[in-house]
Amino acid sequence: MKPECLVVIPARFGSTRFPGKVLSKLGGASIVEWCYRAAKSSRVGRVLVATEDRRVSQAVASFGGEAILTSRNCISGTDRVCQAAEHFNTPFIINLQGDQPLIDPRTIRRVFELLKNNPLADMSTAVIPLADPGRVSNPNVVKAALAGNGRALYFSRAPIPYPRNGAPAAHYEHLGIYGFRRKALRSFVRLRPSPLEKTESLEQLRALENGMSIYAAVVCDVAVAIDTPADLRRAKRLLGRMTTKHFQKSSVPGRSALRSRKK
């Protein structure tokens, strides 16, 4: 039986803020290897790293992964994912951003299942509850406002919803993962960058502005996007504090194996 889902990890070597970050080491393995093993452990389908640089594809091959070379002219990670996905014929495609080394495989599965089981969803994603006031106000932390049924109403770098009268507000932090139906992915990359997308520098707003539906799974996970060397240091601290249970083989075998390299 052919897999229903393809997980593509866009891994650009030439990052503007942190060149070569996908090959930076965390707990004895590269960032891209952490992402790859999490995706494999989710068991949702075939896993592929899409990159513009042979150094990344060779690194992936060295740990037994599968990689594909894409154009250096891809405007975004989503364009890279779409280009890679054209070589396959799965109805569902997961874009697992290559800077999410500590993502739980169960989150990847939740994003896939949400998309598969909700015919109203063009796209799916994941969020975590956000209680830290510092992260709520941090413009580098992307927040999501959700309807009661989980449909995303908006994403912003600003604190949304804003508790104007001091009433408690549910805040959610957005994680770097998207599920697409194949038709929705092709439609998305054909759209021009939208006004709100350019204002907030958030690609997912292009989908919302063009009437596409995004549904979010609320999960319990670790939000660590590696965009700078400081982010990598934070990830190393978090990795050191994570409990043994968090890495039990029965639940997250990929991370369990990688963590053992640290010792």
What does the chain look like in DSSP terms, one character per residue? ---SEEEEEE--S--SSSTTGGG-EETTEEHHHHHHHHHHHHTSEEEEEEES-HHHHHHHHHTT--EEE--TT-SSHHHHHHHHHTTS--SEEEEE-TT-TT--HHHHHHHHHHHHH-TT-SEEEEEEEE--HHHHH-TTSPEEEE-TTSBEEEEESS-SS--TTS----EEEEEEEEEEEHHHHHHHHHSPPPHHHHHHT-THHHHHHTT--EEEEE---------SHHHHHHHHHHHHH--TGGG-TTT-HHHHHHHHTT-
Residue 248, pLDDT score: 38
- pLDDT tens-place string over residues 177-189: 999 999 999 999 9
Give residue 250's domain range.
5-260
Residue 254, pLDDT score: 52
Segments of the chain with pLDDT less than 50: 243-253, 260-263
Residue 73, pLDDT score: 87
The CATH number of residue 30's host domain is 3.90.550.10
Residue 246, pLDDT score: 36
Our count of domains for the chain comes to: 1
Residue 45, pLDDT score: 97
